[in-house]
Amino acid sequence: MAHITHSLGHDYEALHSSPTRLIRRAISCSSRRLILCCGVSGLLLFSTLFLFKRPPSFEDVRSYERRLPQHNLTEALHDTDLQPPGRRKYLRIEGGADTWEGGLNNVIQELTHTTYLAHRAKRAFVFSDFVWTNSRVPYKIYDRSLKPTKVPLNAFISGASAGGAVSDDASITMRSISLEFFDLVCPMNARVRLTARGAPINGEDGMILIEWWLKRLKDVENEPCVVLDFSHNHVFDWDYFGSRQPLTVFPHLKTSPTLTHFSWSPLVLSAVARNFAVLRPSDHRAVVSSQAHSGIGGLVAIHLRRGDFRGHCRYLGSTRASYLGLNQHENLPDKLHIDHRFSDEFIRTQHRRHCFPEINDIVEKLRQIRFESRVTPLKRVYVLSNGWPRWLSKLGEELRRDGWEDVINPADIKLDSKQDQVSVAVDMAIAERAEVFVGNGFSSVSANIIMLRLAKGMSYESNRFF
């Protein structure tokens, strides 16, 4: 307090000084403020790091990406596997989910479509870092922990979209390249840019939008460096994946390298394998292999989004929203009926129960699913949730009382500091392997889990909704 009065006194005095003295004083004062400001922000940063534990760096993963075989300039400029030999061709997306800071699942949704588009146009896809935030700060607080601003994509996924194999032969011609390598092989003046102006973005059928892009890409088929600029008209964004448009694209994705060669990163898979004793697969291959079709027998994975979803679910009820995107697939057994004759009150209750189920709703639904299951007896539950530990342990108690042998909560999964940074993906990879998945029809996390399960050949019936 004494200091504040003191400096106020100085300012007051300055008012009565000569102009040069005034400026001199102003400078000394602002530099003092600057020091104070730096001190305070330094202290804040320090205490944040102290409180949250500094996140690990992913330099090893970045160096792995740099050394992928397709990142060789000589070969990229003269590929003898091409007919005729010449430059490889690339497709880069700008202004996509990484620019508008979409979460991991928005990024995965976009990647599936853009990688597919690149392959259809006979181009290698250009991947970039996963971006938690575009601001200049080095870290971002997310889901109660500190995240580095940018993470190499191969910390999360390593398949066709991230530079991994895109075919079963050894060819690297079509393998995705990093943005860093693209900048090297395609300097600014060599790039051709296409915008989304005039694209049929809000149609009913996603394939029409894909075909529109393919036609535009055909016009520039001889150009090695093509950029699609999504920054003015978001293309494969939140609206698109919320609508029915992806339903017509899915059958094509399912048989394209995008999904046939999709893979979680070795880091994510290592976390799944590390927890084999908790997941208890009867055949260990269910946790170590990405190809196993049968999954972890007897295990039901459930996705319960809590927290911010309470308000979101209320909003969805008020707009009479339907399930999003792929979750509306006609072969999925659980459907959401919305009839204009239903009263607002009825819709509100219905949406609350499906979107934000309470413990008794969850227990009841899982009892029904266990009863209907004809394959292996369902015995254990794996819970994916951002809910509070107390709520989760209450849920676990109720499920055990209802006859479930074991309930695995997020806290039961052991992760090291790097695996912890990709825990969303670890959860998804486990859900992808469970015999039955019960998701939230309004969630893109659930939609992506279902997409990956269906692409692996798991049955539609094994994907349920609350």
Ligand X SMILES: *[C@@H]1O[C@H](CO)[C@@H](O)[C@H](O)[C@H]1NC(C)=O
Q: Which residues are at the interface with ligand X (CB under 6 A)? A: 72, 74-75
For 42, list phi and psi in degrees, rounded to 5.
-60, -45
Q: How far is the CB of 75 from ligand X (least distance, A)?
A: 5
Nearer to ligand X, 67 or 390 (CB): 67
List phi, psi (to 5°) of 304.
-120, 100
The values of phi and psi at residue 128, to 5°, are -135, 175
Residue showing the smallest CB distance to ligand X in the complex: 72
> CB under 8 Å to 128, separation ≥6 — which residues?
98, 153, 178, 179
* Closest CB 73 distance from ligand X, rounded Å: 7
C-beta of 82: minimal distance to ligand X in Å? 14
Shortest Cβ 124–ligand X spacing (Å) = 16
User: Please, what is the minimum distance in Å from the beta carbon of residue 66 to ligand X?
Assistant: 10
| Closer by beta carbon to ligand X, 79 or else 432 | 79
Residue closer to ligand X by CB (options 75, 334) is: 75
The least CB distance from residue 72 to ligand X, in Å, is: 4
> Is the Cβ of residue 67 or residue 374 nearer to ligand X in the bound state?
67
Nearer to ligand X, 75 or 94 (CB): 75
Kindly tell me which of 183 and 402 has the beta carbon lying closer to ligand X: 183
